[in-house]
Amino acid sequence: MQVCIPVSDPSQVGEVRRAVARMAQPLTMSESRRGDASIIANELATNLVRHARDGRILLQVMSHGASRWLELLSVDGGPGMADVQRCLRDGYSTGGTPGTGLGAVKRLSDEFDVHSMPGKGTVIVSRVATHTALPNVFAVGAVCLTAQGEDVCGDTWRSVERERELAVMVADGLGHGPDAAVAANLAGVAFEGEPFASPEQFYQSAHRSLNGSRGAALARAVIGSTGEVQYSGIGNIAGSLVGSERSRGLASQNGTVGVQIRSHVSTYSHVMPAPGVLLMHSDGITSRWSFDQYPGLLLRHPAVIAGVLSRDFVRGRDDATMLVVSRSRKDDIHV
Using alpha carbons, select from 53, 71, 46, 52 the residue that is nearest to residue 61. 71
The side-by-side arrangement of strands in the sheet containing 56-64 is 3-6, 56-64, 67-75, 121-129, 111-117
pLDDT of 335 reads 43
- For 56, phi then psi, to 5°, come to -155, 155
- The H or E element containing residue 228 is strand 228-234
What CA–CA distances, in Å, run from 278 to 16, 93, 144?
Answer: 31, 36, 16
pLDDT score at 54: 95
Q: If DSSP codes are grouped into helix, strand and coil, which group holds residue 242?
A: strand
Task: Judge if pTM exceeds 0.95.
Answer: no
Classify 271 as helix, strand or coil.
strand
In the predicted model, residues of the chain with pLDDT beneath 50 are 94-95, 99, 331-335
The span from the CA of 138 to the CA of 329, in Å, is 8
First to last CA, the chain: 28
DSSP 8-state assignment for residue 119: T
Q: Tell how far CA 10 is from the center of its chain.
A: 27
